[in-house]
Amino acid sequence: MVKTRKERAGNAHVKLRQPDRSGPTEKTLLDFAHEQNLFQQVQQREKEMAKERRKQSIADGDDDDGEVPTLSPGAERALEAALWTATIAMLHFTFDVLVQHQYGQEISWAHVCTRTGRAWLGTICP
């Protein structure tokens, strides 16, 4: 037989209402920013900074500005894939340990690590 849910006596006298969906009655932060032309000031400052960067890169004569050389796009994709699949492999490791604990088995760390490695290699190079 189905049990019916009992209503709590404490919640019976609380009146429910819809939230107030009318707009703000006072000035918001966006209104203050528009009054002081802060958005225009930011755009002007960004343009000035971009001009300064272009002038400095032309004056220096080289494009890398002392930065570390970047990786090729293929290497970046491979490393990014390794990063994402490593996080999935960590999740696989965690679930493997939890399932063994749930069924009351003794955890064999060598087998868990082997299965995690296989899962990681299976996702990185299918």
Q: Is the pLDDT of residue 65 over 80?
A: no
Higher pLDDT, 114 or 2: 114
pLDDT of the residue at 49 = 92
Concatenating the DSSP letter of every residue in 99-110 gives HHHHTTPPP-HH
Is pLDDT at 52 greater than 80 in this prediction?
yes
Give the C-alpha distances (Å, rounded to integers) separating 63 from 20, 32, 54, 72: 55, 40, 10, 17
Q: pLDDT above 90 covers what percent of the chain?
A: 40
pTM for the full predicted model: 0.43
Q: How large is the average pLDDT for residues 65-89?
A: 83
pLDDT in tens, 12-35: 677 888 888 888 889 999 999 999
